[in-house]
Amino acid sequence: MMKVLLVALAVIAVAHAAIIERKISRPYWYSIIIIMEMMMFNNSLSAASEKSTNMRWIRAEDYDRIVGGSTTDAHEFPYQVITAAHCVHKTAKKKLRVNVGDHNIEDAEAQIIDLRSLHVHSGYSPSTLANDIALLKLKSSATAKPHTSTIQCASADTKLIAGEDVLITGWGALAEGGSYPDKLQKVKLQLVSDTDCDAEHGSEFMPKEIFCARYKPGGKDSCQGDSGGPVVYKGDLIGLVSWGYGCARPDTPGVYTCVSNYESWIAKTMG
């Protein structure tokens, strides 16, 4: 398994305005990311009562941002970031950079890193969001900040059990169409079976490539601004926030890219 160091980071991107494809409710311009090499993640959720812990994230300054990030043991791989492909597929590499630093965006203590290269999965489809994953290679190393810990990427044989908890973090909207927080948020959702996910999303459901999670009564969810952000299951990084119908609606599961399904692609792309 790949080890990743928990650290917050953000990628500053040029504003994409509300480019919302189909039923996607995680806008591209405020999206989240996960990093692989010396950093891990952070994002935001629609559960205003679930405030962030002592993890630190990144200052997005006055630009729209993609947040989150994951890391492996130092020098094990080149410094790289994993995110959802829909967050970056229309953005030039020169318009993206990674910030590593703060937990509160009002307290600017960020390390800004430019990209060396951008790799969107060759099978990514903007219309269906199939293979919604991308990898960003950084030009330089990131320095670990306080309040970090290690995490492993889930392996390809990881079994997801319906009803069990996953943890998502981010700086996305606190409600559907709502405001954005200054501090990192966290929320626990429950995994949904493939059968229920298929019943909800029909032809949009792609077994193995994605999985679903929700808080059945509603009121808790990932939301706009959380795209590309990390989903942690049993202490391992298992997914990326991808899309959904609105935010925090009762009985309505969100859809997440299953990172473990792309273990070989990640290894090959990381080189």
Here the tokens at position 41 are 């993640």
Cα–Cα distance measured from residue 223 to residue 177, given in angstroms and rounded to the nearest whole number: 9
> What burial class does residue 151 get, using C-beta atoms within 10 Å of its C-beta: 0-12 exposed, 13-18 middle, 19+ buried?
buried
User: What is the 8-class DSSP label of residue 104?
Assistant: B
User: What is the 8-class DSSP label of residue 41?
Assistant: B
Question: What are the phi and psi torsion angles at 127 (to 5°)?
Answer: -80, -35
- For 87-243, where are the E strands, in sequence order? 97-100, 111-120, 134-138, 150-153, 165-170, 185-192, 210-214, 230-233, 236-243
- For every residue of 218-241, which 3-state class applies, written as one string? CCCCECCCCCCCEEEECCEEEEEE
Left (φ > 0), alpha (ψ -120 to 50) or beta: where does 119 sit? beta
> What burial class does residue 75 get, using C-beta atoms within 10 Å of its C-beta: 0-12 exposed, 13-18 middle, 19+ buried?
exposed
Catalytic residue, candidates 102, 132, 221, 236: 132
User: What is the 8-class DSSP label of residue 29?
Assistant: G
Report whether 179 contacts 173 (CB < 8 A).
Answer: yes
Cα–Cα distance measured from residue 96 to residue 67, given in angstroms and rounded to the nearest whole number: 11
The alpha carbon of 187 is separated from its chain's Cα centroid by a whole number of angstroms, namely 13
Cα–Cα distance measured from residue 169 to residue 58, given in angstroms and rounded to the nearest whole number: 13
227 is catalytic: yes
Catalytic residue, candidates 227, 236, 242, 260: 227
Query: Annotated catalytic sites, by residue?
Result: 86, 132, 227
